[in-house]
Amino acid sequence: MSLLPILRFPDPRLKKVAAPVTKIDDGIRRLAADMAETMYEAPGIGLAATQVDVHRRVVVIDVSEEKNQLRVFVNPEIVACDGSALGEEGCLSVPGIYDKVERAERVSVRYLDLDGRAQVLEAEGLLAVCIQHEIDHLNGKVFVDHLSQLKQGRIKSKLAKQARVTA
């Protein structure tokens, strides 16, 4: 396993829509393992393949306190959602930035596991938010796209300033 570089907003590669996975093979399993290692190291609770410049529909998530409940979603698709909740989100591609985003409170997601079996998961709370956030990445969206143009501009300026300071 190896750590993968995480793209940073506003990198245009974050806008690419990920292609469906047509075959789950050792390459996809290795990608998922590398993504999980990268997510845990960052540290984060979710990571989409788009964020590591691999434009395939793969997501890893672990919202457990112990970091021992890794979930891998291949070709995830939200098939139902219910309710509405406003919560603060952050993102490994937008480090140090947090803002409120409105999401569905509960979701039903259909996906393939790493053995190629079709699964359906009913999720609520933080897991539901994380699933929606990561699927947004697969669709070329970052959480700041849900914010006003003014806030997006401020975030871009703040990240540009951070990049200059650390360079």
Active-site residue set: 134
Provide DSSP, 98-145. EEEEEE-SEEEEEEE-TTS-EEEEEEEHHHHHHHHHHHHHHTT--GGG
Are 75 and 57 within 8 A, CB to CB?
yes
Instruction: Please count the other Cβ atoms lying within 10 Å of the Cβ belonging to residue 63.
Output: 17
Neighbouring-strand partners of residue 28: none
Strand pairing category for 71-82 and 58-61: antiparallel
Are 48 and 18 within 8 A, CB to CB?
yes
Which phi and psi (to 5°) does residue 119 adopt? -135, 155
CA distance linking residue 99 with residue 55, whole number of Å: 26
